[in-house]
Structure 1
């Protein structure tokens, strides 16, 4: 078992040829799909709110349950891939993901959609560790691997930003269920080409599968996120405290168990390496910034500014381009500039973006978001490439699946926190600030208090003047929450800059 002092930081091998680069293209298909699925609902939420009438808690669960299940199972699935074959697990996951996506597209109510999203998270957890660990075994030359990981990370980050754009295009022409059906045409080529182009790899000496650790990892994450959601929707209480305690205790038991096992599910000793640990934290905070920003921006553009889905999506297109370019541009740059400096500057730009929205206030014009999102994209694109490269280079090749799982767990935890923390904060302020006009019927007022989408749906059934007063009150409350949430987001990004400067100071371009 690798300890912090024995972690190898160099990997040199034969250079990849045309087949290996073709395999990278194939491996990018599930990366784009799973990351798109993380955020594609951002643009579909207004239509889902109208069609399924979810409560505020259910709306957050529709968004979060996918990332929550994904994050809870990534380490376990990474370990399974190391044992039974990473390509095999990738193909199983892709098949299940495509089938369940069809079920999600035709969900009749919020509860069935939440269930389908949870199962999608289960199969998605099979896909993601396999892709990055297969890159590790495919590209053994360090420079080529760094470029491959940059493409992978750019696709991962770009997929998250592309989700709302894909959603906007589809919703312009189809019902909300179409955002799930995109899985089928994306995954069919993978199922055909992966057995031909991607070489199977596994850990030649795997340890036993640890079901207890899998259950502990799940029971550590789910209760904590559930407590955050309950706190936002119902306020403090014994249930909130109990869930938080269960999560913290389960996390402590998980760490203790990993330290005692000869072959742990997750080698927590890796976190004694400051570069490894700092890269994981940077990864997490960068995605928190991205998903949190998208959560409130997409709703603001559609429901407050009242742009059509496609027009709102196009407003985010510059940020998507910047994210992809930044992720690739850091590959030659990191040979000359210290990784921590690049990450700090990038995440500092994301902090400026959040601060700009915060300072613009409740009446922030559309151009504020159009300019701010490329700054977020700059930070996320740079941070994702560098952090993933440092993580995967820090472990032995036979533990690539487990290390990949740590990287993607950080990504998915960041996605959960982006909506669970920032989204729940926005929801709490919205509900606490909203003053429903006295002439609004009780049923419509109750729907408006749940979500901004609920207010828009309720207003559609009211007379003109009453409907407008309800919408004005709801959008005012939403933007009050948006401003406060942006201020917190700026603080999170400042913290990320500090982590990068301190933890990555020993990382170099030649690690």
Structure 2
């Protein structure tokens, strides 16, 4: 069963069957193939968050501006999200295993080159190239899993492992990244991609069967271009709006991206074989589940962005110690994702999704109204709530996404779901990160004594980023150092309160939307 039509016939996972017992028998070869497919899943997921914990070290090494620091994180997710649907379509045509191996080779090679980046511009370009090859990996893995496991029960277990690997990898990233930064240097996070990918390259051709669509539609390059011209300007405009304030230029950039998005949608509606089937979004269950997926990742990645800086720069924790402090969140994400599967036999899936989003809202309420100066326990407790909410909401929302569409549309639904993962990650760092940076810059009041005692370029870096302020504080005598550190902490915390309040409103609204729209989805039997 290697054709796309056969895969689609057997690939539908619905809310009616996710609570059924899982058969444990099956060929050892299939599970070896699944194990090999988990290497790129874990790597892409880890890469999404690992570099966040290296940002202070990157800031000291490459001296990027505040906007460049955000682009170092966002360029990867931006290109990845923009090309996921296109690469999924390409895999249908040239073979999903072939595309997976091409992406694996390119990802490892570019990672090695980017690990030794001599400048912020080089690192941003390298991260964008990693996004290109990363986009070849994710659609291929899920499509191949469906082909390897045609039996619904065994496939359900395999897809659950895939989802747990993605969620767990996202939480593992800071732990792994923190240890590598402390023991080696920030580039080690990128360099480690080479040994991780070797098992897949060595054994993948032998254990992973090839599959492709025998009757794929025609590739439409203008649609690919329009999708990129939509995402890049919108995200860049949001960054500029947050850091520079309201102005003609950022608004014009956002308007351009929105116009390209309109043209993209119109083109998809006219094409016989669209890059993205827009009719799927007319299904309220499908579109609401996608929204839940995006916002769950939005909240999680936005939180990780400022938590990494808080633990290292304000609490004085080492990268490995701050990563280790997040182990409970890693465990909670995976555990929650597995526990909600039998839960939907007793509770309607829509209420489980709403409950997960409510936990995320509760986590952000702790941050928005809590006292951050009392130590890291408050923020780590909030992260635990977020992790539980993300694990629960993602697992069931993905099931609803696949169950809400006809079997022949399940491949397109999966591609959109994976794009939602990346869009949520991207927006979490871009939107919340930009707002946090802007709030810090606007609220930082450098003491006059610090300004007079510091070189002009050092003072400017202190005004741009928290890392710059703490680096300057380390060079000043005790009274001035303490004064600058206090001012930087106050400015950073004010930004955290603002971003947490915004995320709280979004999460609460999403939870209410899920409870209302998804309330009639039946329990699993």
TM range (shorter): over 0.9
Q: Which of these residues, 318, 322, 327, is aligned with residue 332 of structure 2?
A: 322
Q: Which of these residues, 484, 503, 515, is aligned with residue 470 of structure 1?
A: 484
Specify the alignment match of 1:239 in structure 2.
249
Q: Which of these residues, 454, 458, 461, is aligned with residue 475 of structure 2?
A: 461
Q: 1:320: Cα distance to partner?
A: 0.6
Q: Which of these residues, 442, 462, 470, is aligned with residue 448 of structure 1?
A: 462
Q: Supply the distance in 1 between the matched residues of 2:212 and 2:167 (Cα, whole angstroms).
A: 26
1:30 aligns with 2:40: yes
Q: 1:400: Cα distance to partner?
A: 4.8
1:342 aligns with 2:352: yes
Q: TM-score, length-normalised on structure 1?
A: 0.95
Which residues in structure 2 correspond to 1:124-273 (within 5 Å)? 124-273=134-283
Q: Supply the distance in 2 between the matched residues of 1:141 and 1:329 (Cα, whole angstroms).
A: 22
Specify the alignment match of 1:502 in structure 2.
516
- The farther-off stretch of 457-466 and 340-349 is 457-466
- The farther-off stretch of 239-248 and 134-143 is 134-143
SS at match of 1:40: helix
Specify the alignment match of 2:495 in structure 1.
481
The answer to whether the 8 A contact 2:358-2:508 is kept is yes
207 and 117 in structure 1: CA distance in 2 versus 1, 3 angstrom threshold:
same
- The farther-off stretch of 68-77 and 443-452 is 443-452
Q: TM-score, length-normalised on structure 2?
A: 0.92
Q: Supply the distance in 2 between the matched residues of 1:28 and 1:495 (Cα, whole angstroms).
A: 34
The answer to whether the 8 A contact 2:344-2:524 is kept is no
Specify the alignment match of 2:301 in structure 1.
291
Q: 1:396: Cα distance to partner?
A: 5.6
- The farther-off stretch of 289-298 and 377-386 is 377-386
- The farther-off stretch of 148-157 and 360-369 is 360-369
Specify the alignment match of 1:108 in structure 2.
118
Q: Supply the distance in 1 between the matched residues of 2:405 and 2:99 (Cα, whole angstroms).
A: 21
Q: Supply the distance in 2 between the matched residues of 1:70 and 1:364 (Cα, whole angstroms).
A: 38
Q: 1:386: Cα distance to partner?
A: 1.6
Q: Supply the distance in 1 between the matched residues of 2:521 and 2:41 (Cα, whole angstroms).
A: 26
The answer to whether the 8 A contact 1:133-1:400 is kept is no
Q: 1:257: Cα distance to partner?
A: 0.7
- The farther-off stretch of 139-148 and 447-456 is 139-148
- The farther-off stretch of 241-250 and 353-362 is 353-362
- The farther-off stretch of 339-348 and 211-220 is 339-348
SS at match of 1:199: coil
Q: CA RMSD in A?
A: 2.1
SS at match of 2:144: helix
Q: Supply the distance in 2 between the matched residues of 1:10 and 1:445 (Cα, whole angstroms).
A: 56
Number of aligned residue pairs: 506
Q: 1:389: Cα distance to partner?
A: 2.5
The answer to whether the 8 A contact 2:179-2:320 is kept is yes
1:366-420, CA deviations, whole angstroms, 9 ceiling, x for partnerless residues?
1112211121111111122222223234456665543322111111111111011
139 and 337 in structure 1: CA distance in 2 versus 1, 3 angstrom threshold:
farther
1:402 aligns with 2:412: yes
Q: Supply the distance in 2 between the matched residues of 1:323 and 1:101 (Cα, whole angstroms).
A: 27
1:219-243, CA deviations, whole angstroms, 9 ceiling, x for partnerless residues?
1111000001111221121210111
Specify the alignment match of 1:281 in structure 2.
291
Q: Which of these residues, 108, 116, 120, is aligned with residue 130 of structure 2?
A: 120
Q: Supply the distance in 2 between the matched residues of 1:10 and 1:417 (Cα, whole angstroms).
A: 28
Flag structure 1 segments of 5+ consecutive residues without an equivalent.
Answer: 3-7
Q: Supply the distance in 1 between the matched residues of 2:332 and 2:147 (Cα, whole angstroms).
A: 29
Q: Supply the distance in 1 between the matched residues of 2:108 and 2:414 (Cα, whole angstroms).
A: 23
1:392 aligns with 2:402: yes
